[in-house]
Amino acid sequence: MHGSRTEIQSFAQALDPEYDATADVVIFPPSLYIQALVSELANSSNNSVDVGIQDVGIASSGAHTGEIAAAMVADAGGKWAIVGHSERRLDQHETDDLVATKAAAALQGGLRPIICVGETLAERQAGHEIAVVERQLDAVLDRIDCGDLINAAIGYEPVWAIGTGETATPDQAQVMHSFIRARLASQNVEAAQQIRIVYGGSVKPENALELFSEMDIDGGLVGGASLDAQSFSNIAKAAAECMQRKANIT
């Protein structure tokens, strides 16, 4: 929960537009400010930047007080939704099944979900990180056809590296991203190559280029560093540079 209407407008105006369109850039403000940010970006040099919501409801309509349907977000100009963020899993006790249901609801409502998976420090120290991520991912694959995830993204966020200043090394992140890609490929090889897998865990301008250079890391789900427009812009530039390099290789 960060920002105000004034801060959202200032952020949009301060974004550096000098990044290559190779990278898709999405901003996830508090839901109250989605329409204001959509409007602000549309009238700026950053009109290619998309807007999303930080969470979404599971129902398309009806008596669900306090919930926001995916179609409502799309109607307000939003295009993406984060589902299963570690803070939602931990603080709101969201289960794997609920996260998968939200991801399906987002797709059905016209949004592109970033589906978050990741292990806690205790789970990694116990050597369970692969099993945890596999369980979380399989809940999604049980509900959503892998081919449909081309319109989504998987966000790997090691919980122990969120808001702690700790970051998974590029090698650690690549190992998990490679596992996720392989798990997707077990369902649909062609789709697995197209589904974006982004890293979230203390991504900063100082480490973005090194992280994004890994073969299976397709971008970042940026937390604290996204609160500063210049910092966020520099991360977007790093993503664009890496995506262009990878496109040239392939």
Show the 3-state SS of the chain.
CCCCHHHHHHHHHHCCCCCCCCCCCEECCCHHHHHHHHHHHHCCCCCCCEEEECCCCCCCCCCCCCCCCHHHHHHCCCCEEEECCHHHHHHCCCCHHHHHHHHHHHHHCCCEEEEEECCCHHHHHCCCHHHHHHHHHHHHHCCCCHHHHHHCEEEECCHHHCCCCCCCCHHHHHHHHHHHHHHHHCCCHHHHHHCEEEECCCCCHHHHHHHHCCCCCCCECCCHHHHCHHHHHHHHHHHHHHHHHHHHHC
Catalytic residue ranges:
85, 157
